[in-house]
Amino acid sequence: MPTVNVRAATKEQTETKTRPETQLAPPWNVIVIDDPVTLMTYVTKVFMQVFGYAQDKATRLMMEVHKTGRSVVWTGAREQAEIYAQKLQAHHLLTSLEVVDA
Amino acid sequence: MWAARVDEGYVFGGLHTSTVETLKGVPMLLETSDVRVRERLLPETCDDPEDEAQWRRHSVPELERLFLSRAQLVRRDLLGMRRLAGADAHVLLIPDGHTSAWLAALNAARLALFVLNDLTAAQMDVDGLTTASPKQQEAILRIHLLAEVQSVLLGDFEIDDSGQSFDEFVRE
């Protein structure tokens, strides 16, 4: 019956259209890269100031940057990640942004 | 160079000609249009060219304005440098409200000196001077001098509190 066919087609179209809209945007990483000039205590202070991290966490992240060359210091929504990256660059920490792989 | 606390902030004294020149270079380095410095202070941030273009459009102009306003603030404080009576050195007051701007400006200046003089990470180590040219050696010494000022502002050293205002302190 034609009526049944129309209903089936409508349902399929609706599903196809709504699926991408409900897909969540991927999170972004804020990455700080080591440089040989910036003082370690300054990096710690900036992490505390920008993210509100406790001294222990800020120091641990700073040491990760220092020892491994980089550290993901925050992960979350793109807009907030950009705000944080801008604040870190305002203090001249070498900062980059990357989309987290699905 | 010595440092002390006064009511308004930190005082740096014993600033002789070369130190004064280094400090006066801080705002100039923040304002420089040199490509190497700009690339370091406003680095490529996103891998994706579209994201990077958006970053350049929205975030970089704000950062540039911030750097310029910091340079002006630092320059104003430097203009307030005084020569103590009977001394051949200057004193500089960095008010507490300006500490954050100074810390960032000093960091920018140190990074700028590093890239402008083609320095390497190894040359920033203790024995780095041995492999450096005379011009690089001077830059390294300036970088370390500015780091000392940063360290004081970061509270890394125990600094005597004079319990006086800046005016009382410099009159003594």
Complex ipTM value: 0.93
Cβ of B43 within 8 Å of Cβ of A89? The answer is yes
State the Cα–Cα distance between residues B106 and B129, nearest whole angstrom.
21
How many separate domains does chain B show? 1
Please report which helix (H) or strand (E) contains residue A91, including its range.
none
Q: Which two tokens stand for residue B30?
A: 């923040």
How many separate domains does chain A show? 1
Residue A6's pLDDT band (boundaries 50, 70, 90)? Answer: very low
State the Cα–Cα distance between residues B51 and B120, nearest whole angstrom.
30
Residues of B with Cβ-Cβ distance to A32 under 8 angstroms: none
Contact B60, B45 (CB under 8 A): no
Closest-CA distance of chain B to residue A42, Å = 7
Question: B63 and chain A: CB distance < 8 Å anywhere?
Answer: yes
Model pLDDT for residues A43-89, shown as the tens digit of each residue: 999 999 999 999 999 999 999 999 999 999 999 999 999 999 999 99
Maximum CA extent, chain A = 76
State the Cα–Cα distance between residues B130 and B135, nearest whole angstrom.
12
In a domain, A80, yes or no: yes
Q: Which two tokens stand for residue B60?
A: 């970089």
Full residue range of the structural domain in which residue B102 is found: 2-171
Closest-CA distance of chain B to residue A22, Å = 22
In a domain, A14, yes or no: no
Q: Residue B43: its pLDDT value, please?
A: 96
Which of B51, B63, B156 lies closest to A41 in CB terms?
A: B156
Full residue range of the structural domain in which residue A44 is found: 24-99
Give the CATH number for residue A44.
Answer: 3.30.1390.10
State the Cα–Cα distance between residues B71 and B24, nearest whole angstrom.
10
Q: What distances in angstroms separate CA B78 from CA B23, B33, B142, one per listed residue?
A: 8, 22, 17
Q: Residue B86: its pLDDT value, please?
A: 74
In a domain, A5, yes or no: no
State the Cα–Cα distance between residues B76 and B86, nearest whole angstrom.
24
Does pLDDT of A18 surpass 70? no
